[in-house]
């Protein structure tokens, strides 16, 4: 979600660069229109669309990929930007991972160029293949979601305001994707997200689940993978626990935090969604909030880090705005929005609403892995357990009494795991809010073994 301080810092820096039109926003050197592949698909020109969507691999260290736009709402000219990386091995049988970042309103660009993404941008502006890329053994489809995020665009009144709309639009994009790449439409699909992706992933997955019942071409959804999942705000807004446990507040302040939490939960119970979201901002999320003022911390992604050093950020923001890169990605003269305030505010009333009932239903039919970084404050492990224990699915009673097992990677203790029926719960040691940034090797091991149904402990 947008409160991940690493990402927040990135977009502050990006905003500074965007003041120069040669770097961000509409670029006078580019006059091409964005590639709307939907137009070609509707005209029966799928092969032409696929050919046009090829990304010049010379700019990306020889990495094969495709990009363009899927129209998901004609009335509002809403288009989702996609960037697809076919598996480097056994493409025709490899599972497909659909990657959705959080925010709401955060572009996938950082995930593509870091963590377990396929690419890296070096300090000198050159690109190399990601060492821990999950596209080595899986195809990965990145979508800038919702519309208005990254290169995705819409009309002023086309921004999504709830998860039902988002689920429908992602489903529309996914059905078009399988028309573009029909050779993998029967491959296993895993929907991956982090943070606010804890809503996006269930939203799309539930839409697929419902529509598959009557669909002629069913989507082969196999599982959901969510990191530091913001899913059920009422039962996850217990910041007094984590803040006190790690020593950031004393007992008296913990009592004050609990009062804030009780007020927040009452607003949620009354369905005063916007008021609850704004109260949450004042409690924990924004500069000047109770948490920031009392702890002196400027961010909540890692309780060992008071303030993120922007000097350590890679030059991703500059690279993706270069004219030759923009041309390669077929984005035309569209503005790039690293973090969209319009998207965030459009979903203001959605932030404190729960999708736990959808996740409960999905757990009865699909495998679900929820993993959490030990060092996160914004969506801590205790908050995750709070909402998981309240889900209503087959095996929930067994989950309540299950014993955690140690999880090792190459003989190193990496975390703790519970596996009960379709649910896999993981705590990743020494990892922050965005686990795949701080522990990429462990994350790719976790994801790969989950998908391949290999034993994790």
Q: What is the DSSP letter of 312?
A: G
Give me the helices (H) in 102-245, please. 109-112, 163-180, 197-212, 233-236, 239-245
Q: How many helices (H) and strands (E) does the chain have?
A: 19, 12
Q: Which residues are catalytic?
A: 195, 376, 433
User: Could you give the C-alpha distances from 36 to 10, 155, 255, 414, in angstroms and in order?
Assistant: 29, 16, 54, 43
Q: What is each CA distance from 98 to 66, 134, 190, 356, in whole angstroms?
A: 14, 12, 6, 20
Max intra-chain CA distance, the chain = 67
Beta carbons of 119 and 112 less than 8 angstroms apart = yes
Report the distance separating Cα 247 and Cα 69, nearest Å.
Answer: 47
Task: Say whether the peptide bond before residue 146 is cis (omega within 30 degrees of 0).
Answer: yes
Respond yes or no on whether the N-terminal peptide bond of residue 427 is cis (omega within 30° of 0).
Answer: no
CA distance 175 to 318: 32
Sign of the alpha-carbon torsion through 203, 205, 208, 210: negative
Tell me how far apart the alpha carbons of residues 9 and 377 are, in angstroms, rounded to a whole number.
17
Helices (H), ranges, 88-192: 109-112, 163-180
Helix, strand, coil percent values for the chain (each to nearest 5)? 40, 15, 45
Pairing between β-strand 412-420 and β-strand 405-409 as defined by DSSP bridges: antiparallel
Residues 105 and 337: their CA atoms lie apart, in Å, by 9
Measured CA to CA, the distance from residue 326 to residue 28 in angstroms comes to: 12
Residue 448 CB: number of other CB atoms within 10 A?
Answer: 16
**Geometric angle at alpha carbon 22, from 106 and 141, rounded to 5°:** 35
Nearest CA to 140 out of 85, 193, 191, 88 is that of: 85
Structure tokens at 188: 């296993």
């Amino acid at each position: 979600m947008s409160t991940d301080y690493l990402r927040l810092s990135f977009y502050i820096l990006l905003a500074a660069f965007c003041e120069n039109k040669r770097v961000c926003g509409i670029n006078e050197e580019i006059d091409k229109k964005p590639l709307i592949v939907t137009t070609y698909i509707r005209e029966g020109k799928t092969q032409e669309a696929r050919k046009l969507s090829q990304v010049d691999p010379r700019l990306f260290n020889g990495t094969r990929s495709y990009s363009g736009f899927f129209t998901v709402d004609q009335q509002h000219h809403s288009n989702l930007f996609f960037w697809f990386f076919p598996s480097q091995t056994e493409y025709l049988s490899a599972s497909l991972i659909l990657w959705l970042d959080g925010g709401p309103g955060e572009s996938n660009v950082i995930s593509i160029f870091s963590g377990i993404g396929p690419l890296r941008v070096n300090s000198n502006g050159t690109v190399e293949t990601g060492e821990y890329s999950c596209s080595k053994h899986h195809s990965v489809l990145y979508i800038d979601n919702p519309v208005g995020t990254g290169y995705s665009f819409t009309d002023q009144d086309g921004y999504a305001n709830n998860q039902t709309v988002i689920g429908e639009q992602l489903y529309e994009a996914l059905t078009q994707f399988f028309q573009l790449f029909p050779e993998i439409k029967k491959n296993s699909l895993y929907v991956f997200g982090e943070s606010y992706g804890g809503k996006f992933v269930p939203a799309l997955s539930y839409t697929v689940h419902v529509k598959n019942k009557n669909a002629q071409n069913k989507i082969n959804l196999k599982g959901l993978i969510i990191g530091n999942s913001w899913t059920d705000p009422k039962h996850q807004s217990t910041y007094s626990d984590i803040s006190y446990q790690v020593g950031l507040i004393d007992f008296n302040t913990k009592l004050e935090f609990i009062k804030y939490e009780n007020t927040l939960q009452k607003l949620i119970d009354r369905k005063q969604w916007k008021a609850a979201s704004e109260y949450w901002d004042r409690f924990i999320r924004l500069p000047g909030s109770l948490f920031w003022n009392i702890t002196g911390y400027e961010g909540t992604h890692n309780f060992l880090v008071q303030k993120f050093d922007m000097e350590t950020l890679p030059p991703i923001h500059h690279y993706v705005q270069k004219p030759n890169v923009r041309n390669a990605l077929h984005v035309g003269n569209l503005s790039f929005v690293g973090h969209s305030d319009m998207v965030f505010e459009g979903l203001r009333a959605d932030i404190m609403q729960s999708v736990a009932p959808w996740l409960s239903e999905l757990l009865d039919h699909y495998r679900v892995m929820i993993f959490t970084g030990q060092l996160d404050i914004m969506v801590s492990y205790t908050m995750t357990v709070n909402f998981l224990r309240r889900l209503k699915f087959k095996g929930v009673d067994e989950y309540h009494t299950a014993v955690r097992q140690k999880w090792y990677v190459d003989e190193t203790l990496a975390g703790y795991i519970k596996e009960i029926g379709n649910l896999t719960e993981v705590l990743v040691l020494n990892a922050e809010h965005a686990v795949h940034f701080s522990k990429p090797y462990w994350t790719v091991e976790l994801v790969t073994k989950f998908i391949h149904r290999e034993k994790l402990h």
